[in-house]
Amino acid sequence: MKTNNKTLTYILLAVVGFIWFKVFVRLKDNAEVETVQYTANHQGFTGKISKPESFHLKANYNDPFKIRKVAVNNPVSVDPNNLPPKPVKEKPAPKVVYWPPIKYFGFVKNNTPGRTPRALVAFENTIYKLRKNEVFLDGFEIKSLSRDEMVMKYKGEVRTFYKMR
């Protein structure tokens, strides 16, 4: 059984080597396209034709973006007292901030000195332990934290979440 595995391994190595050789030969041939041998038997010409170093575009068409001046034959006089009223600028619509579903499960308090409590918050079925003033995900920030409520800020909007019962 071992000799069959060795034989199969050597055959596979030979096939893979052959394929790699063909790939690299093709890549090498594609890289050498800069100079081309041209043979014309009927004209008797044999020589090298190389790519030109520069070229010139013939731009013999009208520019579609050129601004054309239109001649006005009868200019109209405008009475400054009879002007239409200026349009009233409408106030922009308030931004609507999308908040994903958020659940507040309370907080965990650590009795070690200098440690702040952490809120247990569920974002889209994932529970996070977060501290006050900690920014996470795409800019969510916990502003205040108590046993029964949590105040969170996101993109300038502040919301209060109450503990799930």
In 3D space, the residue among 64, 158, 62 whose CA is nearest the CA of residue 102 turns out to be 158
Identify which has the larger pLDDT, 144 or 110: 144
Domain contains 116: yes
Domain contains 152: yes
CA distances from 83 to 89, 116, 156 (A): 18, 66, 42
Asked if residues 47 and 39 have their Cβ atoms less than 8 Å apart, the reply is no
pLDDT digits (tens, 9 = 90+) for 145-163: 888 899 999 888 899 988 8
Q: Please report the pLDDT score of residue 74 as a whole number.
A: 62
CATH number at residue 148: 2.30.30.830
Q: Of the segments 60-64, 72-76, 107-111, 118-122, which one has the largest average pLDDT value?
A: 118-122
Q: Please report the pLDDT score of residue 123 as a whole number.
A: 83
The structure tokens 């055959």 sit at: 11
SS3 content of the chain, % helix, strand, coil (to 5): 20, 30, 50
CA distances from 155 to 96, 139, 147, 161 (A): 10, 7, 25, 16
User: Across all residues in the chain, what is the average pLDDT?
Assistant: 77
Overall number of domains in the chain = 1
Domain contains 130: yes
Q: Please report the pLDDT score of residue 14 as a whole number.
A: 92
Q: Residue 46's pLDDT band (boundaries 50, 70, 90)?
A: low
Q: Please report the pLDDT score of residue 145 as a whole number.
A: 87
pLDDT digits (tens, 9 = 90+) for 86-135: 888 888 877 777 888 888 988 888 778 878 888 888 888 888 888 888 88
- The boundaries of the domain holding residue 157 are 102-162
Mean pLDDT across 7-33: 79
What percentage of the chain reaches a pLDDT higher than 70? Answer: 75
Q: Of the segments 13-17, 30-34, 52-56, which one has the largest average pLDDT value?
A: 13-17
Q: What is the distance between the alpha carbons of residues 120 and 48, in angstroms, rounded to a whole number?
A: 76
